[in-house]
Structure 1
Amino acid sequence: MTRYRFYTATTLDGFLADEHDSLDWLLSQPTGDDSILPMERFMEDVGAIVAGRSTYDWVLEHDDSVEGAWVFTQPTFLFTHREVEAPRGDVRAVHGDPAQHRAALEEAAGGKDVWIVGGGDLAADFARAGMLDELFVSFAPVTLGAGKPLLGGRFALELLEHGTNGALLEARYRVLGPLE
């Protein structure tokens, strides 16, 4: 069965990126080899990816490993209302409610998980649609005071696991649903 998972990092005050979409605060954090869910192990279970436009643009602009190319090989569903100039790799521009795309996402995932890469508002849209099963978050010892929120909305979560990785606190939660 396909799981929908939001694997991300946040500041202690709950921001994924600053008000200029920068992740510099995260990239300077020391990490180790003790993650409760190492990225490599997580990626083994990922069959399809969901990204918002700001995340997609940031990755294209900042990933030096494959200049100008989309870094993931899995089919990617890019939720956007703007035109996408010549998407690189298997990137499908879509818009609307996540539930409209559920069948296509699960077919593309081929029985594996769907990773909601970002952002927080998009992950919240998936949660409201009943399509967010887990939140894995690394908390960095940084506060920004403003920026892009971790999860845009009010949701109940159940802690499943926690640990540390270098300077980061890690937690894995089951998403129970929206709070009334």
Structure 2
Amino acid sequence: MARIRGYIATSLDGYIATEEESLDWLFEYNDLELGEHDYRKFIKRIGTVVMGRGTYDFLEKDGSPWAYDEQRVVVVTSRPIAAPKGQLEKRSDIDELITELRDLSDGDVWVLGGGKLQMAFIERCALDEIEIYVMPELIGGGTPLFPRTGFRTGLRLLQAIALDQGCVRLHYVFDHTAGSEIAAV
């Protein structure tokens, strides 16, 4: 059974992109030394990458080569993708997708990108763990790490560690056994 994971960076004030949808603030840390937590080591454990349409559109606009040739890629969207940047599948039913992902045995699943899709997985008790890299930046607004949905659940901290250049890694597992509820927003 595949583990479904999050792996994401955020500013100290809780944003993953600026109001202009820029990640330039994060790219300043491309030479960050993460040791055993380095992205290149993380991605080797991933068999399937799942991303939302916003993340796909961001990657499509980027001039870089497609980074996921070694993984199966699923884009959650109901809109057509005219000329895919890389090899990918398109899905619109998250519940059906989660059932399928759980049955995989070729590596973990990474829910890549923004908090909107991650929150959809969290609300369905389908995200098993998350690594959050808190960067020493205040960007003052933009796309929040997680959108406000009113959903509430518990997490258990596995590790908090200070890394290079003031980055802090937080590694949590979701406490699906404690129950979850919808709280008033």
User: Which band: TM-score by shorter chain?
Assistant: 0.7 to 0.9
Give the drift of 1:103: 3.7
Contact 1:30/1:166, CA 8 A, preserved across alignment: no
Number of matched pairs: 174
SS at match of 1:77: strand
Report Cα offsets for 1:125-155 as digits up to 9, x if no partner. Answer: 0011111011101111112232211123443
- The CA distance in 2 between the partners of 1:32 and 1:161, in whole Å, is 19
Tell me, yes or no, if structure 1 residue 174 matches structure 2 residue 170: no
- The CA distance in 2 between the partners of 1:90 and 1:11, in whole Å, is 31
Report Cα offsets for 1:138-173 as digits up to 9, x if no partner. Answer: 111112232211123443221101223322111111
User: How much is the aligned-residue C-alpha RMSD, in angstroms?
Assistant: 2.0
SS at match of 1:84: coil
SS at match of 1:7: strand
Report Cα offsets for 1:94-139 as digits up to 9, x if no partner. Answer: 113x2211243345x5341100111101001001111101110111
Tell me, yes or no, if structure 1 residue 100 matches structure 2 residue 96: yes
Tell me, yes or no, if structure 1 residue 81 matches structure 2 residue 83: no
TM-score (ref. length: structure 1): 0.85
- The CA distance in 1 between the partners of 2:170 and 2:160, in whole Å, is 4
Contact 1:156/1:175, CA 8 A, preserved across alignment: yes
What is the identity percentage for the equivalent residue pairs of Structure 1 and Structure 2?
30
- The CA distance in 1 between the partners of 2:153 and 2:144, in whole Å, is 13
Distance 1:149 1:13, change over 3 A: same
Contact 2:13/2:138, CA 8 A, preserved across alignment: yes
The one-letter amino acid paired with 2:7 is Y
Contact 1:16/1:23, CA 8 A, preserved across alignment: yes
Contact 2:60/2:85, CA 8 A, preserved across alignment: no
Of 135-144 and 3-12, deviating more is 135-144
Task: Map 1:14-163; keep pairs closer than 5 Å.
Answer: 14-29=14-29, 31-64=31-64, 66=65, 70-73=66-69, 74-96=71-93, 98-106=94-102, 109-152=104-147, 153=149, 154-163=152-161
- The CA distance in 2 between the partners of 1:39 and 1:79, in whole Å, is 23
Q: Unpaired runs of 5+ in structure 1? A: none
TM-score (ref. length: structure 2): 0.83
Q: Unpaired runs of 5+ in structure 2? A: none
The one-letter amino acid paired with 1:41 is K
